[in-house]
Structure 1
Amino acid sequence: MTLGIVGGTGLYKFDGLDIQEERAVETPFGVPSAPLVRGLHAGKEIWFLARHGAGHAKLPHEVNYRANVFALKQVGVTHAIGVSAVGSLREEIAPGDLTIPAQYFDWTRGRREATFFGNGVAAHVSTAEPTCAELTKRVVDAAASIGTKIRTGTTYACVEGPRLGTRAESFFLRGPAGCDVVGMTNVPEAFLMREAQIAYCTVAIATDWDCWRDDPSTHVTVADVIARYGASLATAVAVMRQAIATQDFSFDCPSRHALEMALLTPDAALTPAQRSWIDVLRT
């Protein structure tokens, strides 16, 4: 069992990692955002990938999520923790707070390559519970041990971006859609992790109140996000370091068996090329 870290905005390297190698990986789905970095922390092997590439070169809609997730699975990652900046849609989730979403609402308009399957390979994975409850618990326990609170049970709305949202959209997402935070990157990442049988959760850092509040001075701007983000990102990284050092990530869970009843195409109907990448996902 191997842990992967997917770094989001501001997290382009994992400081303190004893780097063993950087590996440029090619996948059947293209090239990931950046080379994968393998290192040791607290004596445990970790793979790190910068979601947006070095220096935040890729906007959310430009990220090759399939290549990122497949590359992690290809090097042996079985459990993955993401880090993401989000806007808060709830008064009780203040800028600087951390939350691990349990649910996702896809508002990306279907423009992103969202599945490994198709083109002759049929599968339908269950995403009723799209994140790993056990992985979430272990991260939350690690956070509590260093005095950091992480809210759980929230719903993350993923929007297309790269523009920031309108007030009408913000009211819809926090109202009829029932969402608690809004971001641009966790879909299709979370669902591809499930297709790859990787146990997944993300530590979401609230940077703002989006734009639903009446006071215009609280509406999200990039300048405000960057100004508030550094301290919270340091806290999130400290939580991950503590989790790596103190938690066991060798556990089994339903995420690790997501394809057992999901793949409809029989092996005999697969081409050698299809079988090669499906076998990676099934490991």
Structure 2
Amino acid sequence: MLALIGGTGVYGMEGMEVTGTVAAETPFGMPSSPVIKGRIANQEILFLARHGLQHQLLPSEVNYRANIFALKSLGATQIIGISAVGSLEERIAPGDLAIPSQYFDWTKGKRAASFFGNGIAAHVSTAVPVSVQLMNWIAGRAKEIGIRLHSDVTYACVEGPRLGTRAESHFLRQTGCHIVGMTNVPEVFLAREAQICYATIGIATDYDCWMEDPAMHVQATEIFALYKQSLLKAQNLLASLLATPRPEEEPEIRQALACALLTPEHALTQEQKAWLEVLRR
């Protein structure tokens, strides 16, 4: 089943026939919002608002573990996220869409970044952190319907909530990053631990602050005004995607825990076995 995680400004899906709402408490706490179950174009989907239905959660306050676990427990095997991003390259203009294929974690350790720890050890491979099948599906559909989209870019995730300094922006550019945001880490890595195929549609809102022209260093109100204008483009792309068959799920992602768990089964508590069984589905 496909799940959608809505970022800033996305608190529901246009054209979705709602079939249920689940307040899915998890072993890791409550998710950001209830999970909405529904159908679009005869496809069953799940929807969750990353920042809460009233956008009350800062990026570092989001319970990413609960969000991913709730979606997995309800049957999600593929996730597409929607996120606001800043552009670190001139070719990625404000209003453009971009799909990351790589991630650079520049958060500060404030976020619970793994399901594992506290008596259970596992190490999943994230050399290729996203689903190439989902990424190609999104990029191919965008090309077909004439939406400008940049694929195979690197997303730098920063802690926030403040917007970055020019020095930080230049540093991220020098590391080879193309876009910057505040929410995809640890979301992308938790999805891999949950054996869920994951991809993000990033909406470029501005040029961050690396350009010399101060006029390009926009304020948050201007950023989100442009973002709202671009949301329609992303929603049209999603609607077009959902009118086509979903791509196959990569076996290496759906079996990511097969060789990752180091703690023997007999050493796990019944509680640990229960939530691990959900991740293994």
Range of TM-score over shorter length: over 0.9
Query: What amino acid is aligned across from residue 122 of structure 2 in structure 1?
Result: A
What SS does structure 1 have at the residue aligned with 2:279? helix
Superposed, 1:9-158 pairs within 5 Å as: 9-158=8-157
CA distance, structure 2, for counterparts of residue 251 and residue 158 of structure 1? 26
Shift of 1:257: 1.2
Question: Retained in 2: the 8 A contact 1:79–1:249?
Answer: no
Question: Retained in 2: the 8 A contact 1:142–1:247?
Answer: no
Shift of 1:277: 0.3
Question: Retained in 1: the 8 A contact 2:191–2:198?
Answer: yes
**TM-score where L is the length of structure 2:** 0.98
What SS does structure 2 have at the residue aligned with 1:246? coil
CA distance, structure 2, for counterparts of residue 152 and residue 165 of structure 1? 24
Identify the residue that residue 191 of structure 2 maps to in structure 1: 193
What SS does structure 1 have at the residue aligned with 2:224? helix
Question: Retained in 2: the 8 A contact 1:81–1:201?
Answer: yes
What SS does structure 2 have at the residue aligned with 1:229? helix
CA distance, structure 2, for counterparts of residue 247 and residue 8 of structure 1? 24
Identify the residue that residue 233 of structure 1 maps to in structure 2: 231
Question: Retained in 2: the 8 A contact 1:19–1:37?
Answer: yes
Farther-moved stretch of structure 1 (250-259 vs 206-215)? 250-259
Question: Retained in 2: the 8 A contact 1:7–1:48?
Answer: yes
CA distance, structure 1, for counterparts of residue 12 and residue 66 of structure 2? 19
Question: Retained in 1: the 8 A contact 2:88–2:173?
Answer: yes
Query: What amino acid is aligned across from residue 68 of structure 2 in structure 1?
Result: V
Identify the residue that residue 174 of structure 1 maps to in structure 2: 173
Shift of 1:145: 2.3
Runs of 4+ with deviation above 6 angstroms: none
Farther-moved stretch of structure 1 (187-196 vs 217-226)? 217-226
Shift of 1:225: 0.8
Identify the residue that residue 267 of structure 1 maps to in structure 2: 265
1:114-166 C-alpha deviation (Å, 9 max, x unpaired): 00000110000001110010111111122222211321110000000000000
CA distance, structure 2, for counterparts of residue 220 and residue 101 of structure 1? 23
CA distance, structure 2, for counterparts of residue 186 and residue 57 of structure 1? 17
Question: Retained in 1: the 8 A contact 2:99–2:151?
Answer: yes
Shift of 1:269: 1.1
Q: Percent identity?
A: 56
Question: Retained in 2: the 8 A contact 1:108–1:158?
Answer: yes
The alignment of Structure 1 onto Structure 2 pairs a total of residues equal to: 281
Shift of 1:245: 1.1
Farther-moved stretch of structure 1 (194-203 vs 227-236)? 227-236
CA distance, structure 2, for counterparts of residue 226 and residue 273 of structure 1? 42
**TM-score where L is the length of structure 1:** 0.97
Identify the residue that residue 182 of structure 2 maps to in structure 1: 184
Question: Retained in 1: the 8 A contact 2:78–2:249?
Answer: no
The alignment's C-alpha RMSD in Å is 0.9
In the alignment, does 2:209 pair up with 1:211?
A: yes
Shift of 1:249: 4.0
Question: Retained in 1: the 8 A contact 2:133–2:248?
Answer: no
Shift of 1:61: 0.6
Contiguous gaps of at least 5 residues in structure 1? none
Question: Retained in 2: the 8 A contact 1:134–1:253?
Answer: no
CA distance, structure 1, for counterparts of residue 131 and residue 278 of structure 2? 20
Shift of 1:247: 2.8
CA distance, structure 2, for counterparts of residue 52 and residue 238 of structure 1? 22
CA distance, structure 1, for counterparts of residue 251 and residue 211 of structure 2? 39
Query: What amino acid is aligned across from residue 224 of structure 1 in structure 2?
Result: E
Query: What amino acid is aligned across from residue 148 of structure 1 in structure 2?
Result: I
1:85-122 C-alpha deviation (Å, 9 max, x unpaired): 00000011000010100011001011110000001100
CA distance, structure 2, for counterparts of residue 152 and residue 33 of structure 1? 28
Farther-moved stretch of structure 1 (250-259 vs 81-90)? 250-259
Contiguous gaps of at least 5 residues in structure 2? none
